[in-house]
Amino acid sequence: MYSDKVMDHFQNPRNVGEIEDASAVGEVGNPTCGDIIKLYLKINDSDETIEDISFKTFGCGAAVATSSMVTELVKGKKLDEALTVSRDTVAEALDGLPPAKMHCSNLATDALKNAIEKYKKTKE
């Protein structure tokens, strides 16, 4: 059902936890399945690079795996580049997700976009 990469990111998630002095925090949830993802960003203000990223996820294995993968995909990238990461990007990086679990990759990318939007609003 799940690829080896999904299982690896679920069993050994990367970048788990809070960033105390985060530049922005994005939080999204899905009331249907109950998954909640909180994503923390530490951003270099001078060049808008994601210096650090972490997450806390309450949800299924796919939600944990997609959260972990999103952190791996965008760490060290500029915000504009990070915004190009889509649910399909995440699913492909994990060697696929079952159709019923695609909403999990939506949550991870939505949390990322939410955090970036919040950061940009503080800089206006």
Instruction: Kindly tell me the burial class for residue 8, based on how many C-beta atoms sit within 10 Å of its own C-beta (0-12, 13-18, 19 or more).
Output: middle
Helix or strand or coil: residue 58?
Answer: strand
Instruction: Identify the active-site residue in 53, 70, 73, 104.
Output: 104
Q: Is 60 part of the annotated catalytic residue set?
A: no
Largest CA distance in the chain: 45
Instruction: Identify the active-site residue in 33, 36, 93, 102.
Output: 33
Residues annotated as part of the active site: 33, 104
